[in-house]
Structure 1
Amino acid sequence: MVMAERPEVQTASAPVTALSVAGLAASMLTGLAQVPFRHPWRGPSTLVGNVGQAVTRQTIRSFMGYLTGLPIDEFRSVEKVIDDLCRVAMSPVVELLNDVELSDDVVAGVPGVWCRARASSESYVPDPAQRAPIRATLLYLPGGGYVGTTPMMYSAFVASLVRVTGAEVFVVDYRKAPEYPFPAGVHDAARVYRGLRMRGADPEHIVVAGDSGGGGLAVSLITHLHEQDEPMPAALVLFSPQVDLVLDYPSINENAQCDVLPWNIPVTAYLKGVSPDDERVSLGRGETDPEWFPPTLVSWGHDEMFRDGIRDFVDRLDGAGVDVEGIEEPGMFHVYPILMPWAEASLRTYGAVRDFTARTVAADPGAVPTHWRSRRVERRLRAARREDPAEDLPGISSGS
């Protein structure tokens, strides 16, 4: 159920929607026409790579700039048209090329789309003994600045994640602003997390992942789970996360000409009165602790507007002792693994995600990875020390 299908969400009439779609196409064509005049051959990669990056940058910038200027009813209608096109035209190709199955589902009342390898799917392999093992369950929160996007728009990307990690992925169609500002999306993500656990997924087998606004939402989810004293997932994987909504870092202005994001990034609709430096929405300014914050992998581009905020976030995690890996790719813009999956930088990031999930996720549901087991033992020892300070207990390294 995309936002436009929710009965309480207003949409535009068919003629207005058609005109809006035509305007979007014209905007993207205009953007592409500008590419030859922007020296597309310049850059850190090969000629083909630089031109591909320039075309992608200008296309996405025109796409996002046009959509963010529409009234919300037109925005929702155009979003629905794009989702329908992805469902009809792109999804069958994605399934065929990646040997995966895409299926709609509702988890704990929240809609979304599953992506599984056909070799792991009950539909294709009825005999459980013959199915390929599922190495992890990814709860994926798609980006879109907290206001837009749908699971089907992410079908190609999550299929790549399935291929490289051997996991199954549930892309959450959480409620979005302005109709549903913070904390609606966080609550939806938490419901899905609990719903997956009720279906039998062990927390040590779950990876929470997200990009851009969805990455910020993923971090907010971790904070929410901690506040509710719920078990943490095995790991957190973030692609260009929007973890600081104050937007006062130098890279916001310095990289505006290089990034795919619009220069006037909207966050007001999502916050709706919540201060942008509130730690629930800007954990880059908050406190973390390795005793509850899961191992984290973060990737981002050197040329993206969120760069400095992400750097500070990763430094804060590292300074707190959290198991964190940071990947900053030179010459890359916002969410480059999604927009340019063929690029060498994206392939390196996919490999890092594969290795990271293999290291942090339990090999079998119910099994606890060594680094988490040692941390839990250490927590018990610390608790024992607090109860009986005189007792001399041996220390155990937390590992990583």
Structure 2
Amino acid sequence: MPGVAAPAPQPGPLLPARLLTATLGTTLNTMVMADRPEVKTASTPVTTLAVAGLASTMLTGLARVPFTRPFSGPSGILDNLGQSVTRQAVRSFMGYSMSLPIDEFRSLEKILDDICKVVIPPFVERIDDVDLTHDELAGVPGIWCRAKDACQGGEKITGTILYLHGGGYIGTSPIMYAAFASTIVERTGCEIFIADYRMAPEFPFPAPVHDAADVYRELLARGVDPAHLIVAGDSGGGGLAASLMAYLRDHEIPKPAAVALFSPEIDLDLDHPSITDNAATDILPWNVPVTPYLHGVQPDDERVSIVYADLGPAWFPPTFVTCGSDEMFRDGIREFTAALEKGGVEVQAIEEPGMFHVYPILMPWSEAAHTAFDALGEYVEKHVTPSAEPATA
């Protein structure tokens, strides 16, 4: 892969770990939404009550698991049990957090982000042998995930992934996705930058798209060849990744080598049968919030719902996409993949029976997730031009 374009050492796709440490240190000081000056948060007593309410809701939700036939399903007994527990736990968490006022939601998110900053780095360093490093690209903070061997030993990096985290365009943070990203690093040989883009309702469309586009431009400016670059995302981040492709088309910016999407939220009309039919089997709340992000933009606008665009290989890259047969976005994703195929865009779609939204992230140990990771590795190997230079170039 090409070296960094700037003459002076700076954090970027191919700097060795010793330079990253010298210039940035080891702290992961990404700016969670609660840390932004424009974002309001709740007082400490109110936040404490919110945390207590979440704990109570989670316990009540988990108490329902024995009554939901947790061992039955399309997979093995342990996978089925894990799926039942995960579904109930995440559904309880999302249902409760979505009911909070935005200031309490941001305060709760901040607490979870702080916990993840303590727990996740040593975990991924030991399990996946991955280094996590803070960086800023075009003013957008984020986290680099790189294999230690690639940084320290001069081994080749397969490619660079710009990852746009999920959260329905309104929540979560890069560190919450570091474990998932590290698994992708281990399976693909790529390095990953998880962008800490602005989110709704404080920053509705088009702010997140502009942040993603700024990071993409900065990667190109640092010397990353589009033939080595992948844009990936899940849920709302998957929808944002697709919207970024339309932005690149409109501004005549080279497209990446491929796109990888996990349960992408690419149709904000939310008018498909699976939205209601799968509400009982998915982890998402039955009233999926999209208004805060749209902020008056029509949900069938192709800038926010790529499924309404005239898709074609001239501007939309080869696409890898996964979803679960039991998730609410299933029909919209089916329509999207059909439109890609009709438009002549190469697409590999995996619809896992009995699985819910973003199952590879929530159940990375499951057989279904391993199948998705293996397929992604093969897809990256097929579409990303191998680097001719070692990581220390």
TM more than 0.5: yes
C-alpha contact 2:156 2:387 (8 A) present in aligned 1: no
**Structure 2 CA distance for aligned equivalents of residues 85 and 216 of structure 1:** 27
Hey, what does 1:32 align to over in structure 2?
62
Residue aligned with 1:358, SS? helix
CA shift for structure 1 position 314: 0.2
Partners of 1:364 and 1:118 in 2: CA distance: 17
Between stretches 187-196 and 280-289, larger displacement belongs to 280-289
Cα distance in 1 for residues equivalent to 2:71 and 2:321 = 29
Give the partner amino acid of 1:230: I
Select which of 199, 203, 213 maps to 2:226: 203
Q: Match for residue 137 of structure 2?
A: 107
Q: Establish whether residue 80 from structure 1 lines up as the match of residue 106 from structure 2.
A: no
Match of 1:222 in 2: 245
Please say if 1:325 is aligned against 2:348.
yes
User: Residue 58 of structure 1 aligns with which residue?
Assistant: 88
| The one of 292, 310, 334 aligned to 1:311 | 334
Is 1:18 matched with 2:44? no
For residues 314 and 211 of structure 2, what CA distance do their matches in structure 1 show? 25
1:135-150 matches, within 5 Å, as 135-150=158-173
Equivalent residue of 1:81, what SS?
A: helix
Please tell me whether the aligned partners of residues 141 and 171 of structure 1 are also in contact (alpha carbons under 8 angstroms). yes
CA displacement, residues 173-220 of structure 1 (integer Å, 9 cap, x when unaligned) = 100000000010000000000011111111111100000000000000
Match of 2:5 in 1: none
| Structure 2 counterparts to residues 110-129 of structure 1, below 5 A | 110-121=140-151, 125=152
Give the match for residue 185 of structure 1: 208
2:281 counterpart residue number: 258
**Among candidates 362, 367, 386, match of residue 344 of structure 1:** 367
1:333, distance to aligned residue in structure 2 (A):
0.4
Q: Please state whether the residue corresponding to 1:134 is helix, strand or coil.
A: coil
Whole-Å separation in 1 of the counterparts to 2:387 and 2:295: 42
Shift of 1:94: 1.7
Measured after TM superposition, the shift of residue 307 of structure 1 is 0.2
Cα distance in 2 between the residues matched to 1:175 and 1:336: 25
The alignment partner of 1:237 has SS state of strand
SS in 2 for 1:331: coil
Contact 1:293-1:322 at 8 Å conserved across structures:
yes
Shift of 1:365: 6.2
Residue type of the alignment partner of 1:277:
D
Provide the rounded CA distance (Å) in 1 between the counterparts of 2:63 and 2:167: 25
Give yes or no for the alignment of 1:133 onto 2:163.
no
1: distance between equivalents of 2:77 and 2:366?
Answer: 12
Structure 2 stretches of 5 or more lacking a match? 1-30
Indicate the RMSD between aligned Cα atoms, in angstroms: 1.0
Corresponding residue number in structure 1 for 2:311: 288
Is the partner of 1:278 in helix, strand or coil? coil
- Contact (CA 8 Å) 1:201, 1:365: kept in 2 or not? no
Q: Measure the CA separation in 2 of the matches of 1:246 and 1:173.
A: 26
TM-score (norm 2): 0.90
CA contact (8 A) 2:318 2:346 kept: yes
What residue is the counterpart of 1:360 in the other structure? 383
**Larger relative contact order (Cα-Cα within 8 Å, sequence gap ≥ 6):** 2
Name the structure 2 match of 1:233: 256
Shift of 1:91: 2.0
Pick from 53, 71, 92: which aligns with 1:41?
71
Q: CA deviation at 1:90?
A: 2.3
1:24 partner amino acid: L
Structure 1 unaligned runs (5+)?
367-400
Q: Distance in 1 between matches of 2:181 and 2:331?
A: 27
**Residue aligning to 1:389:** none
Residue in structure 1 matched with residue 266 of structure 2 by the alignment: 243
Deviations 1:327-385 (A, max 9, x none): 1010110000000001111100000100000000011269xxxxxxxxxxxxxxxxxxx
Contact kept? 1:202, 1:365, Cα under 8 Å: no
Secondary structure in structure 1 of the residue aligned to 2:64: helix
Contact kept? 1:204, 1:365, Cα under 8 Å = no
Provide the rounded CA distance (Å) in 1 between the counterparts of 2:122 and 2:110.
18
CA distance in 2, matches of 1:49, 1:327: 18
CA distance in 2 between counterparts of 1:260 and 1:91 reads: 26
Cα distance in 2, alignment partners of residues 177 and 91 from structure 1: 27
The 5 A counterparts of 1:262-281 are 262-281=285-304
CA distance in 1, matches of 2:270, 2:121: 35
